[in-house]
A and B are shown apart, each in its own frame.
Chain A
């Protein structure tokens, strides 16, 4: 599917949130290292799945790409343009190409606006078309996401979660972007509705040649939709490989543990299966462990793991991993 041309490239992207103290004069006493020094590429037309536990920095990565959180350091190249250096006006133009779909369909739509004005908002911001043309476009978009165009004057509270999420998708599509960050778009939905939204996203990808960064913690859904999968732990990417390589042959012990948590829908296999149970909690991102960040919970950690951070390297073809013990 992908023609190996990177559409988006992250270089040492870092986002630290400062922790401040003091009432009048605030001084920084630390930082939450939400995203620390990550680099990867997303090819045109592909879907990159980004998985990891809650609080590991998945959403922050997505928001840092869109410059909704200004990265602490590092660069984000979109089609060769560095977004971190872009001026406000340039960024505004770039936003036509990069869009985001949010996790919570209840919080991502303004309750005081009609569906029509919500979907027309991007067109309004970028001064596209007359009011009548926008109305037509909104109706098209509603049909595109399988909603009745007659819903145009309704308010978000009159819709179900899945319908609201589709309104969010329509809004993201209004400017005809190339790249969409899907920030856990299905986590807040019922299982029965999840498939609807995921299938819609896939159809739209085929139709418009979209590129997705698909953030999720549902491993089977990521397997379904992704071409490649990146695994994050505590602000770092620990493994990145084509989907099948990650699921069939996980190299990093954290990925192995994650995958073993997915139940197998076969009672015989499930009973015999050995699960890797991780001990303890995720350490605080404001004070991450030395060396490999995973060594405090790693079942196979050795001395070197607590001393030196592992190098990000290509262990097998196109299979990148950050672990000392992978040969």
Chain B
């Protein structure tokens, strides 16, 4: 009886196993900086979701008597105004209703609130751009690599062609065109629908299109390369010998193997997306006011840099810490999943 139990215990231990994912997570946890980056990213996601809780005012709330206030400067407001507009009224944080934590901008909007709401813009860009480029790139690259031959040739030449087009002028033209049309109205239902969509997204639609159009190309190339190498592997041949069809090979064997490197490439690309959105907003091609994009906020504060540096400094700090955190996290993920870099095992 006791030996039976011993054997059973031993066998249960033999049955224990670590998947490649578990291995990678263990490796990731060892990397302190990457874990720090990830914690910060999770924190920012939390802040974005509960933005009204973290900010005293709405991002669009103007208070023209208190424009260009310095950080921690007191408000000149009435009690009834605070009671009506301030999220923090009647809470332990009530002092925030009468103090500009990070100052205010030219229209007297609370900069702290705008920065908090700005996390939503940056993160939605990160999420939308990375998932769109991942899905399109994965499908396009897998089809191209798996089909091979002339189909592959044609599809990849299209990617090369799109790579060669400078996208910035096209985005400028598109934005200018749609802005002009939206003032006049258009007969075309497609254009009208696009304008509506853009307005409801706070002017983010073209930023999405621009970033998506730019980045699926790289993902498609990566996916194609991975598929090309995996489809020649013997385990794929073994599946064929067992009678597996194309669908089985693609979904059971290729995509699980290709997805890892692609996800890591995406996590490394996210800082770029966030930065590109900020850059587009900075040059006036991104979001439309009053959407609180960090890039747009830097642009607004930039003209008064000497007298009111805080208008540039705070959004700048937010932007750089978030991109840095994503960078550290991406580096950590890459190191954790790339077994070749794993020194010990």
Contact = CB atoms under 8 A, between A and B. Distances in A.
A122 B240 CA distance: 10
A73 interface: no
B263 to A, nearest CB: 13
Interface stretch (A2-10, A103-111, A308-316): A103-111
Given A66-B241, A95-B241, A112-B256, A155 B11 contact: no
Contacts of B253: 110
A196 interface: no
Main secondary structure of the interface of A (DSSP, over half): loop
Contact of B235 (A110, A126, A154): A110
Contact of A122 (B12, B14, B242): B242
Most buried by A among B16, B240, B241, B253: B241
A112 B230 CA distance: 12
B241 A107 contact: no
Interface string A89-112: 001100110111011100111111
Given A104-B234, A112-B20, A157-B20, A151 B15 contact: yes
Interface residues of B, number: 27
A155 B20 contact: yes
Contacts of A112: 20, 256-257
B241 A99 contact: yes
Contacts of A98: 241
Interface string A113-130: 110000001100110000
A302 interface: no
B235 A109 contact: yes
Interface string B243-259: 11000100011001100
Contacts of B150: 26
Contacts of B242: 95, 99, 121-122, 125-126, 171, 175
A102 B15 contact: no
A158 B150 CA distance: 40
A68 B240 contact: yes
A191 interface: no
Nearest to A66: B241
Contacts of A102: 234, 237-238
A148 B11 CA distance: 9
Nearest to A100: B241
A101 to B, nearest CB: 9
Contacts of B241: 66, 68, 95, 98-100
A151 B14 contact: yes
A125 B238 CA distance: 12
Nearest to A158: B17
A239 to B, nearest CB: 28
A110 B11 contact: no
B318 interface: no
A109 B16 CA distance: 19
A114 B257 contact: no
Interface string B129-171: 0000000000000000000001001000000000000000000
B234 A96 contact: no
Contacts of A68: 237, 240-241
B17 A100 contact: no
B62 to A, nearest CB: 54
A137 to B, nearest CB: 14
A108 B234 contact: yes
Interface string A3-36: 0000000000000000000001010000000000
Contacts of B2: none
Interface string A135-157: 00000000000001011111101
Given A110-B252, A150-B12, 19 more contacts: A68-B240, A91-B243, A95-B243, A98-B241, A100-B237, A111-B20, A112-B256, A122-B242, A122-B243, A125-B242, A125-B243, A125-B244, A126-B242, A150-B14, A153-B16, A153-B17, A155-B17, A171-B238, A175-B242
Nearest 5 CB-CB pairs, A to B? A108-B234, A150-B15, A95-B243, A154-B17, A92-B243
